[in-house]
Structure 1
Amino acid sequence: MGLPDTSPVPKKDSMGMDYIPVYADEQGDDVGTVRVSPARLQSLGVRTAAVEYRTLDAALRAVGRIELDERRIHDVSPRFEGWIERLHVNATGDPVRRGQALFTVYSPELASARQELAIAERLASTAAADPVAQQGAQRLADAARARLRNWQAGGASGNSVVFSAPADGIVLEKAAVEGMRFTPGMPVYRIADLSSVWVLADVYEQDLARIAPGQPARVGIDAYPGRHFDARITYIYPTLNAATRTTPVRLELSNTDGLLRPGMFAHVELLTGGDAARLTVPDSAIIDDGQRRIVLIAEGEGRFRPQVVETGLRSRDHVEILSGLDGDERVVVSANFLIDAESNLQAALASFGEGDPEQGPARYETRGAFEDYFDDTGSVMLMHEAIPDLHWPSMTMEFGLADPALVEGLAPGTPIRFAFEDRGNGEFVVTDIVPEAADGHRHEGH
């Protein structure tokens, strides 16, 4: 970061680097416009592209995982006490069909209820019986039928009950073994239908405004590189994880071929661009200096005009332009940074931020340390703290010096407080230096 210097003839700097030639026909002929010779444009490989309207495939990327569809999970739990006599499906992971026999059970309670029903039905059907006894037998039969119906064993016969699969799917969990005793409500089998699965993706808080139910999405799985699965957002959860600042978003995926397994890691792209055409430029056209975003508009004959723009959505290759362009321009998409280096672009950009000339150059104050003074150039090497207003980190650099008397008596390493001015074109001149003691207080003896 040395001081600006010019030479009427080619030369090298103190580090052995060639000075950059600047020709008269490359100077900006209009305010805010820079010009580069045709020969230089060809050597730099400058390319331009039209500003145009297009539909953006802007994608919000998130990580997720494959989960079971909670609406397709079924537990098989007997409502009475008993013992498992026989297993018809005896392995976790086995596929089952709706109505397929899972296991057969025996229950003393079930046998007793069926005997009560049989006796009550015989008494109720006896013609010689007392009418009051017949009514009592009928009530007993109705109570026995209701009990069997509540146990979901109303249509069974004998002392055993066969339990069947409530839906197509696979056996996720199996607690049953032959001869095992079970209690009411104990889950013996858990069956899940995997023909449709969920993807739960974590979306950061600042991106929630960009998504809505119904938006399309693409899901990539590490097990199938290069393949994408189409999905849609079906639900945005109403809670936020305070630790990660993310909200779960649910997508549904068809899984009829069984490729997707719960627990798989998923890469999710939420397509938030929509179908509307937007004014765009290639993403390589944007120069971002940390404070603003700029494009170089090609005006023909080697002339380029920097234009500050406001950007919106981004796709893989294009950026939405919210303001700054009309749509009929051409912008530089290749070698725009080289044009910056080969021309007086910084001077052209200065026209966007010029203040009142009567206020004079910008002035900054900071702390640091004196390092060295150069008699031949009248400059000084200083170490300074970070300067937020200029986005400078703490570093050692060379400054111009307004008066050599400012550094008289200073030894290398002396802590100082100093002020400098930005006089444009990269020229920073120190105008005031005050030595400080090691504890940061002003030195009274200087």
Structure 2
Amino acid sequence: MSILTRRSPRAAGLVVAVLLGLIPAAQVAAQAAPSYDTLLERLDQLPGARVGAALAEAADARADQARALPNPSLSWSAENAWGTGSYGGMGRADTVLTLSQPLEVWGQRGARVRAARAEAQAAALRGSQSRSDVASQLAAIYAQAESALRRYTLADEALTLTRDDAAAVTAMVKHGREPQLRAVQAQSEVANASAALDEAQAFRDAALARLAGAALLDAPVQTIDNSLLDRAPPAPRGAIDVALAVRVAEAEVDAAGRLVDVERKRALPDLSVTAAQTRFREDREQAYTLGVSLSIPLFDRNRGGIRAASAEQRAAEARLDQQRRDSEAERLSAVAGLKAAGSRTRAADESVVAAEEAYRLARIGFDAGRISQLELRSTRSALIAARGTAVDALLAGCSGNAQTPDASDAASKTAADDGHGHAADSTAAKAETSKVPDADEGVVQLTPEQIKASGIDVVAVGRGGGGSTRLSGRVEPSIGARASVASTVTGRVERVLVAPGTAVKQNQALAIVVSGEAAVFRANAVAAAAEAEAARLAHGRDKALVEQGVVARQELETSRARSLAAQAQAAAAQAQAAANGSPDSSGRVRITSPVAGIVGNVQVTPGGVVAAGSPVADVADPSMNELVFTAPPALAAQVRPGMTLEVTVPGGSFSATVTGSAADVRQQGGVAVIRATPVNAALPPAGSPVSAVVVTDGKDGALSVPADAVQNVGGSSAVFVAVEGGFKVQPVLAGRRAGDRIEILGGLSGSERIVGANAFLLKAELAKGEAEHGH
């Protein structure tokens, strides 16, 4: 019996029509996201960019307002009116009409206008910086949305692979080739993959919603056609290019300097011109009065305002210096990050190719029954992880390297004419500045009195040649007399058995560490020994059965190989436990000293956690100390074993014999290390400073200067050479350093006289002069 009624076909037709009508609407509602370049064209419509543009417009309007002249004032007064007697009413009243106009004749208006223009320029640059920040945020959201889409696709592919593998496992279970447990595990993996797909879909929808909101899109998006992750990131800013943040800080310094000028102008007197007309009603006459008023800055000289503006200027200069350093650090970090991201992306792509090939081979082997389900699951997990890592690498390469609009256009607009004559004044100011004669570049002008007051010491450049050389060093334990004892396992420190200064013997316990890892090592050793014993007994039984003719000799050889393998594994497990401190069954490990001596620094405390390889204590034998000196690298070839040193210590002096001399490449800049032992003398405790004198043949032509003489000026090494009227910066090529001397490889002829002590004062004075010239 049919359940359809007469109205059923009509109702079905209506449902089909409604569904067909919804298809275009769904297609319109779910659109593709515009490309990142298209979104950049609409950047000025985003709220963050509009905020910066509005603030720049406000600053420009204040600059226009600053050009306005002060308003005049008009006043009217009546004298001798509404009194008594003949002065009643207005009959004999004298009326005065006064017009007063303030004049800005001391440059107040010009200073105010220049300060407002400087602030407008800084605001324009800050607006450009806001656009750049908004573009970077938009790029990050765009890249995250695209990565979420790719992760959803990868999760869908992972679910498909997992279902295919589960179907193959189910087929093998039906044929009896795998236990039922494998089928249950496969279905669990399918459920986990399905949940991961749902989670990836949620992240995708959330990321696309954030993209639609950030880009002010009218409709939600479901796809991204133009990839941003696959786009090659732009090259970082060059070393000679000025960062936008630095330009903003420079503009703020300029604005702060202009405000100082404004505050100084406020301390000047206020000048006003007054014109008044007086009407005498009784005589029906009128007269005029002209006057000039000038305020006297007797009590208020605006000193506080000037100091505050100067302090704000110094703060702006400090921010500029910090911003320059931060911008350079960010540039170097971006260069390194871009290089690392490229390497990571290439490695991820190669890993995906290898993982896909490994999964393909594993699936073939699994279908052929040669590979287990565990190996197939491992290769599938590796493939899924490699694909996810590739997406992460692309996202990391895109983060921070997105193409953002260049702020040079906005900055150039600031310098261009804005319709109010600002550009012309700026150009004139620059032309006027260019007329100022510059002092000799790199020269610090100082008088003899200033040199003496600063404590600047002028010395000659040192030359090589035979003579004595003073060395500095200290007493150190001999190489074989000291040991840094480290923990062999990761665990909790249960007890500390020694303290600094404790005398210990060789193999004496220093601390006891309780470690789960050590307990595992001990358990593995015991289990391996048990397996070796079981394999030995099985081999004995097979040998007896072979003699009786019950078991084939092949099985005896197999059991013998298993016994030997089990014995080797037991020996390896026992060696591993011994290498990790021979723990007991509870995982306790005794950390022992490999040498006898005195405990120095104990770096663990009871209850603390120590990692494997972390130091526990230092042990040194105080009876085995030696002298260690540092010297210039050129001295290493001149000092030979057997030479005599004259050593000086706080308690006196003694002779020592050189035991070895070589260059230490581990030290920055390279130095020579000279080791010596005393001759019939006792050494001070380890760590005591000592000095020595060694007589060498020397090497002609080598130049050296005091270490304090070499300063970093403009990113390169330089010294200050004495010239007429001051000191001049001389770039040099510095070699290796030893003690308080630095070898000079180029830049000096040897006849100059340079600043040895307090050269940093000249560097600071030079930087101060450049900063003042820059303003």
Q: TM-score, normalised by structure 2?
A: 0.24
Higher relative contact order (CA 8 A, sep 6+): 1
Which structure's CA Rg is the greater one? 2
| Richer in strand (by share) | 1
| Richer in helix (by share) | 2
